[in-house]
Structure 1
């Protein structure tokens, strides 16, 4: 067991090391312009890579990693879960590959393949520390090494005589003491399942006697432990009076890891037991070394511990010794407080309860986190964790974690942080610079194959303003099957759906480029926490403006974001003076000086305009000089309207019309009378020939404005790729000289979401069986159908999609889709 004094010294040393490393980084990193224009590897986002049960393949693993690399990601953290999450562990019957059970030899061969491919692609790959995503355990954890709870039984006696009786072992509820119910495959119910080991595993702590009622003086608690035989037989000459004899012991909490395949499910390990943590970590690291030893550090790099949801234990085998060493007194007389007795006084009993809680926190720090850190470091593996939600002091355990991850959700379509602010604060206190976040975790109310990059943006920006500077997306599911089976495998009901099978995956790379530019600057320099360094005034509209400030070497960088999906304007004051403000746009990668600003009392005041969910970096790095002419946000003037008919080509493979369709006006696909368009999901290409007779020599700053786009568009003009528009403002620059007065050709590839095709399929006869999920949020595949297993044409000819979770019925509302416009040629006038 680790000495508490040594632990405090180690905490000081490791904190100092991180702080010095953080300060050293500032000197070694790129300057901000270099970082912005060419983001470093550290600015690339990562994904939580969900391997769903036995639904895995080598081919799919390679395709996943290649798609992620191409998209701009460079890290995967793999979780091995059940076939589906309902939200509990669920199984899909008739699996094509039933032999793939987590942490068995066939499964490890796929893990090795993933590590080899990650090495080939120069990507960072790691995994969770066992089956499931919660918390630390597996089939290898015995009841003795599992999380423990204190239990007791009581027997009333009258004294003034010799007592000879058998004291029975305490009885506990056979159902596991878990934070919430789970799906129990043995009964088919959502419940806290019975755990056989709670009936069979028990260890004694002590046998004590107390006066039968009232507050009990500490000296009147009698220790009878030595007078009881192994079978519970007690021989005792009891003093006069009425007494209650308490037999205290401990048993397993019965807490299971979740949501693993049923054959891979096991008990959570005891986080306060050195023996249990040693055993668990030695097993985990031993398996990794056995199967991936030559790839550690180059192909396989880290082991992850997710947010803690295993509940609060109340005992560990050596609790009495640990308590005495740390608190300076014996806990035995106070055991009766667990039976709601008062020992000494109310104040004394409360002090014991606080001391007991403090001891649990100490042990999580000194055993759980310290041991993980030590063993992973020795194995040349990085310790990744979401270190919140458990019985510990967050600022004390933070320095043990090599890379810290926090978390935010997309609750009701809005940014919803979970333990994010205290984690960021503790992380900064420990001197660490990179703040990762499990990002955009979504429940079925928000993520039903209807998420879009534009919808996602403001929530990511809100996390940036809160201190996050590296997004790790939740989630990316391993897609094992042929590409014709889309959307493919899911994490059951959980989103957000970042998958290579997502309709907008390829054009979505533009969003990843935006994140990279943001993260490059948000990792640069040091956080600047001064109060009142950013003030908003003269605000109009409904923009919700947030910010974060970083600085180093005389340069100040503010990330300023409208985190509301509505436009607005404001005058923003920055606590910087004597410098020329610049606007760096992470959406386009452009940089420009801002001509409109005022300096007063050491601050610079700048009028800023925001479209919905728009963000900028405001940079102060060079002295202000001659006053510039113009406005910060030039107004646009329409030069031409691309009205009239468009030729629109849909993909026949996903139910679209075989031939191009003429749209006489830009309209919502879901309003179309033809089902192949009404229920279409995917990409449709709008083509048009047009003249631009209005062009003249003064038209230098031309832009293409798309108006309303549902949901992302890639544009070509005269066979030149102009890029992707995925969020407001829905326009992009036209290179000088590209637009001609006559015979221009424009192609706009518009991609919507999967929801409509999935709803369209529900209009057709069923050819798969479904079972209801457990939160009224949809249904999951009961079994793989024969036509799928045998690679035969599906019986229901009007169905196009294949997935493992169904959110929809035939009456579900369709999602507006397509290019709605108006599409205009505009130029900017800087007055």
Structure 2
């Protein structure tokens, strides 16, 4: 959609008119910084990089609109071993320095994965610092017997890594439990005779997972780190301290990928840490810890164990790592999902929390391609993404990043039209700093398609969509420039009852993973309540026990950190377990002036230690609350200068307190909001299957509202009015479109009015003879065509076109009627997959997603006009042809190459993907209305 377009005019005035509007529109957007642009993970395969190719590729990335790279060294390509560079070697550091310098000259930033592959590990991780696991060996003795076996680890592989005996516990008749650890000699001899009865002896060893770094690069091969040990963390960081020698070498942020440390359920200091944190000795409960019984004691012991594990990870890994980066004047960026701890606290432990999209979501946008064979059976969940953004908002951090588009679709089949709604869902979740997953470094001399990562988006300069990548990146840049402005504007704090998650008797360690949300997230009342609130139009952040403890109240608002935005209400969803200090804090916040809404009073305390004492304390707290009946089933209690509401219907309680939802969601629109002091930004998306043309209410009284179109950068003053403290503004959004509203409480300087499209005339089909010329791509350029009917390239007589991936240029001359319309909308119909448009020599822009439509009145003239459309298709057909011809293009160490189901990749069985401009192409006349500027102020 283009703002403020005029009627068709003489061609010599087109350029100046377009320039005038572009100047006005650009002035209304925030100044672009490199963090506003999308960044990308940059795979360095085998670290086989050189200055010439780094220089060339960074130029390409900058030209495409990428704002920064995150270097991620991984396994290499075969037959290029002579060019491999060991990670952190002087030569490698030289490549890093060259990259930083070159990136700086292009106003790009550089982040670095602080390791190779994932998770953290490498040659510096000796067995004593490697990821650990609890190994239990069980023995049985009858009364009067002694153990003749030596208490030593039986697994020879564990002997190799030096598994250490840590505890020996005997369980006997009538619940007898004896700690025999001090009766065991250094060589494993148990000096103890069993009393009467049958005794089970549990010998606990600190073993090792023996997991190696996954997808490691040269110089990075080794064991995975024990993240629960501070000594191990310091040992891991030592080579970085030596290589970086007191400088960050220009690295903005050091990065840690998702926690994929498999089976690491222990650490050498676990017993001591547990005793200190939970108040009792874990050793007598070893049997419960490894038990498969579904008893209350087992669940409580495991909850305490999981809580301890999370705290050890926080204090022994995140804090030392953060301190190391800060000492080197860099930031930390981390994916906390998959970790054994409270995700909110772990995300908040770093400077830039990062979430991840994995798989693809369903959107009911008409024409949006989603072939079930080309997607993983995983839907990214916006509420899962909000754990990272909530951690940032609640602790006062502005940037929230996302590893974006991981396995969005099958290799070589992902289009911008599929990427756009997916990234919009990420934005709606509070993310404002997108990282592509990813771009692979590839030397110029490597034949097409170059080096590629096995699970990547394959968005490289070899991608046939690359020539139009800048158009899509401009869209992301405009949105992020707004979403990084001001502060997040969410009115509700919703407590996450982590102990309900931890208090499960199944298993032992609990990794809270993206892929397991059906187990730990979706069944919970926390999830269901949060989703209901968001769907109803409330904005919210999640808060942890630790975050609540740091909170205070100012003027009735809850302040979670000094730099954090205030929240109006604390919501405690139904939960079985709540720690006494958390419940006390909620009551304290109410006494200090806050509003606290409880769906239900907490039923029990978590954990095992002093269970009766803590239960009694919780009972005293709940009984101290005296409620009176209010309207609609709400119970009310005044507490100090605040109040507590108890209601099974949270939304009724919010309405009772006049906490208003954004009722614009009733239209089907989704939104996120930013507070800019003098007003608010609203980012809106229409993911419904229908066009929305209506007046929506905003929850503020604005003097003016500017409509800003992130698809093309245009802007104009909206038709708006204020009634009862709400601003009513007209919006027109087709399915698949986004829009930004800047609602300000001060008057906007002279801004041209936004022109609304009304009274559509009969669409005029652009037809005649289309001249099609293939301009770049391969394996061979098909011959030029003259088409009287648009069709897919795969249907052309020239068989070269079926295997072709690249760009084709369509040109046609058409007539515009002499009877002038106020505006014309060009609709390209079906496009496979992206298009760039020129009219009469003027660049209109890139149409990269559904709808493939744009206003073009300002470019047209009465009579003859020329339309040029450059279309880029997918890589799929060329890859299909190569596999059919058995041309070798994938030859990597490690995983080599797999399809979306992690099976050997084979494109030879694919059907050809439709390609090109398929149409029909139409031009629809409209009359326009524009609210007079002065009357809207």
Match of 1:115 in 2: 100
Aligned pair count reads 717
> What is the DSSP-based 3-state SS (H/G/I as helix, E as strand, rest coil) of the residue aligned with 2:345?
helix
Quote how far apart the aligned CAs of 1:815 are.
Answer: 1.7
Render the CA deviation track for 1:212-259: whole Å, top value 9, x for unaligned. x5533xxxx333333332222233354444333333221112222212
Q: 1:81 aligns with which of 52, 74, 91?
A: 74
Task: Kindly state the Cα deviation for residue 148 of structure 1 after the two structures are TM-superposed.
Answer: 1.4
Q: How does 1:306-317 map to 2 (within 5 A)?
A: 306-311=257-262, 313-317=264-268
Change (3 A) 1:96 1:138: closer
Pair 642,399 (structure 1): closer, same or farther in 2 beyond 3 Å: closer
Q: What does residue 385 of structure 2 align with?
A: 420
Question: Is contact 1:779–1:807 with CA below 8 Å preserved after alignment?
Answer: no
What displacement does 1:276 show? 0.5
Tell me by how many angstroms 1:141 deviates.
Answer: 0.9
Structure 1 residues 521-670: aligned runs within 5 Å: 521-530=482-491, 531=538, 532-536=660-664, 539=667, 544-564=668-688, 567-569=691-693, 572-577=696-701, 579-595=703-719, 599-621=722-744, 632-637=756-761, 641-651=765-775, 654-656=778-780, 659-670=783-794
TM-score normalised to the size of structure 2?
0.70
SS in 2 for 1:60: helix
Shift of 1:478: 1.0
**Aligned pair in 2 of structure 1 residues 750, 200: CA closer, same or farther (>3 Å)?**
closer
Q: How far did 1:605 drift?
A: 4.1
Match of 1:155 in 2: 139
Per the TM alignment, residue 144 of structure 1 is displaced from its structure 2 partner at its CA by 0.9
Q: Give the corresponding residue for 1:61.
A: 54
- Distance (Å, rounded) in 1 between the aligned partners of 2:898 and 2:857: 53
Secondary structure (helix, strand or coil) at the match of 1:422 reads helix
Contact 1:545 1:562 in 2 (8 A): yes
Decide whether the 8 Å contact of 2:412 with 2:876 is kept in 1: yes
How far is 1:491 from its partner? Answer: 0.8
Matched, 1:379 2:328: yes
1:475 aligns with 2:438: yes
Alpha-carbon shift at residue 80 of structure 1 (Å): 1.4
Q: How does 1:698-713 map to 2 (within 5 A)?
A: 698=820, 701-713=823-835
Report which stretch shifted further, 456-465 or 756-765.
Answer: 756-765
Q: Which moved more, 1:38-47 or 1:270-279?
A: 38-47
Distance 1:413 1:537 in 2: 19
SS in structure 2 opposite 1:643? Answer: coil
The 2-side partners of 1:704 and 1:197 are apart by 68
For residues 40-74 of structure 1, the C-alpha deviation after alignment (integer angstroms, 9 at most, x for no partner) is: 33311111111223554433322221112122222
The Cα offsets for residues 391-447 of structure 1, whole Å up to 9 and x where unpaired, read as: 12233334430111112234266661383122222222112222111111115xx13
* 1:286 CA displacement: 2.6
Q: Contact (CA 8 Å) 2:151, 2:190: kept in 1 or not?
A: no
1:462–1:563 Cα contact (<8 Å) kept: no
- The match for 1:716 is 838
What residue is the counterpart of 1:808 in the other structure?
A: 907
- Residue in 2 that maps onto 1:515: 476
Secondary structure of the structure 1 residue equivalent to 2:396: coil
Structure 2 residue aligned with 1:215 = 175
User: 1:269 is matched with which residue?
Assistant: 225
Judged with a 3 Å threshold, the aligned counterparts in structure 2 of structure 1 residues 717 and 358 are, in CA distance, closer, same or farther, namely: closer
Distance 1:634 1:497, change over 3 A: farther
Q: SS where residue 36 of structure 1 aligns?
A: coil
Distance 1:335 1:819 in 2: 67
More strand by share: 1
**Cα offset, 1:75, TM superposition:** 1.6
CA positional deviation for 1:351: 4.4
* Unaligned 5+ runs, structure 1: 1-31, 84-91, 175-195, 781-805
Structure 2 residue aligned with 1:51: 44
CA distance in 2: counterparts of 1:96 and 1:740, whole angstroms: 63
Q: 1:339 to 1:74 in 2, by over 3 A?
A: closer
Tell me if structure 1 keeps the 8 A contact 2:48–2:84. no
When residues 565 and 303 of structure 1 are mapped into structure 2, their CA distance, relative to the original with a 3 A threshold, is farther
1:243 and 2:236 equivalent?
no
- The equivalent of 2:109 in structure 1 is 124
Distance change in 2, residues 1:556/1:737 (3 Å): closer
Q: State the Cα distance separating 1:630 from its structure 2 match.
A: 9.9
1:691-726 CA distances to partner (integer Å, 9 max, x unpaired)?
54x236x45645544333222222233333232222
Q: Are 1:583 and 1:617, in contact at CA under 8 Å, matched by a contact in 2?
A: yes
- Shift in Å, 1:385: 0.6
Deviations 1:71-120 (A, max 9, x none): 2222211111224xxxxxxxx54336464454555544433432332233
> Aligned partners of 1:623 and 1:340: how far apart in 2?
64
Q: Rate the CA distance shift 1:556–1:765 in 2: closer, same or farther, 3 A.
A: closer
Match status 1:170 vs 2:130: no
Equivalent residue for 2:558?
Answer: none
Equivalent of 1:448 in 382, 388, 411? 411
Distance 1:669 1:565, change over 3 A: farther
